[in-house]
Amino acid sequence: MDKPPGRWITSRLAFRDRAPVRSSIANAASTRLLHPSREGTQQTMPRPQATIVTLSSTLRDYCGGSAQILIAAPTVRAMLEDFERDRPSLYRSVCDETGAVRRHVNVFVNSDNIRDLAGLDTPIEPGDVVTILPAVSGG
């Protein structure tokens, strides 16, 4: 065996648990977050209080050039109602006259299209990422 025992054990454990072997920097960061502190209390990362809305470059003009917006809304419908009140030009680009998401606009909660979930009633939680992406066509 040419490998040092520590590396071999780490690799075997990672293979057994089907988790990727992480770099030493990632291991050090997770060690600081997961192990108890000196006082005996466990350190945890703070839970995000808002949902991140990521906008494509074509929609950034409607919100002052921002690539991301922080919102606090329980559903996609409530998020769009906030847009209608606070960012009407962005709302008109995403929704039609009836309040439905335009046919050529896709809204994703994390990696799932809301059309595959509960539509406008799809719940969003703090820490989720909502992506609004107009379809691209041409030739």
Q: State pTM to two decimals.
A: 0.64
Domain 51-134 belongs in CATH node 3.10.20.30: yes
Which residue's entry shows tokens 């919100």? 63
Give the pairing type, strands 129-134 and 105-109: antiparallel
Tens of pLDDT along 70-84? 999 999 999 999 999
Radius of gyration, CA atoms only, the chain = 22
Return residue ranges of the chain for CATH 3.10.20.30: 51-134
The terminus-to-terminus CA distance of the chain in angstroms comes to 57
pLDDT at res. 54: 96
Tens of pLDDT along 47-103? 568 999 999 999 999 988 999 999 999 999 999 999 999 999 999 999 999 999 999
